[in-house]
Chains A and B, each alone.
Chain A
């Protein structure tokens, strides 16, 4: 079985400060990892993914995430937060095998304070 934990329901960050949204995962074998963002009453938007290679992956809107195999983590980061980054963020994982389904975390609500 595979699982994702997003330990923080809510994260508040002042505008201009760096932000981190945490994600840890559990999966047998090597993982494929993803981050999505959801704005109110909208579908999820794909931000970035880790498949293989460089542990630091860059995605849309200036976001990046670092894959840490020893800590089974894939935290989402941004050097300088914008008010428009306020949204619900989901981490997801699947095995790197076959046609596996994604398992999503419960989401972290990020609020950027002006």
Chain B
């Protein structure tokens, strides 16, 4: 069966510091991968998605970036965090041709101080 991991689970970082969040998927090949941010426990904002290694599409221009160095690894980064980057970051995967639903990781709670 497939599983998705995210780490760290929680993170407190000062303004201006760098960020690296990691997501890995097991039990599937060539998945679509997604990064979402959820603010104030409500709506989801799609940040990035990837359909393959090195292929990243950005939905929202901001100081975040994403990379996919391996088939089942998706990394969210920032060179300098802003207060507004605080939130709950969720990684998700879906199969390219199958049931179409996305499966979510447990999330990372980021607090920028």
Query: Interface residues, chain A, CB within 8 Å of chain B?
Result: 32, 34, 36, 40-46, 49, 51, 88, 90, 94, 99, 101-102, 104-107
Beyond the given A34-B101, A99-B32, A101-B49, please list 14 additional residue pairs across the A-B interface where CB-CB is below 8 A: A32-B100, A41-B107, A43-B92, A43-B106, A44-B90, A46-B101, A46-B102, A49-B100, A51-B99, A101-B46, A102-B102, A104-B43, A107-B42, A107-B43
- Asked whether B11 is an interface residue with its Cβ less than 8 Å from the other chain, the reply is no
Contact in complex: B109, A41 (CB < 8 Å): yes
Contact in complex: B106, A42 (CB < 8 Å): yes
- Asked whether B104 is an interface residue with its Cβ less than 8 Å from the other chain, the reply is yes
For A40, list chain B residues within 8 Å (CB).
Answer: 41
Interface of B is mostly: strand
B interface residues, tally (CB under 8 Å): 24
Task: Select one of B49, B103, B107 contacting A42, CB under 8 A.
Answer: B107
Once the chains are docked, how many angstroms separate the CA of A106 from the CA of B19?
Answer: 27
Query: Interface residues, chain B, CB within 8 Å of chain A?
Result: 6, 32, 34, 41-44, 46, 49, 51, 88, 90, 92, 96, 99-107, 109
For B101, list chain A residues within 8 Å (CB).
Answer: 34, 46, 49
Once the chains are docked, how many angstroms separate the CA of A94 from the CA of B100?
Answer: 9
Contact in complex: B43, A106 (CB < 8 Å): yes
Contact in complex: A99, B43 (CB < 8 Å): no
For B34, list chain A residues within 8 Å (CB).
Answer: 101
Given that A42-B107, A43-B106, A101-B46 are known contacts, is A49 also in contact with B41, CB under 8 Å in the complex?
A: no
For A104, list chain B residues within 8 Å (CB).
Answer: 43-44
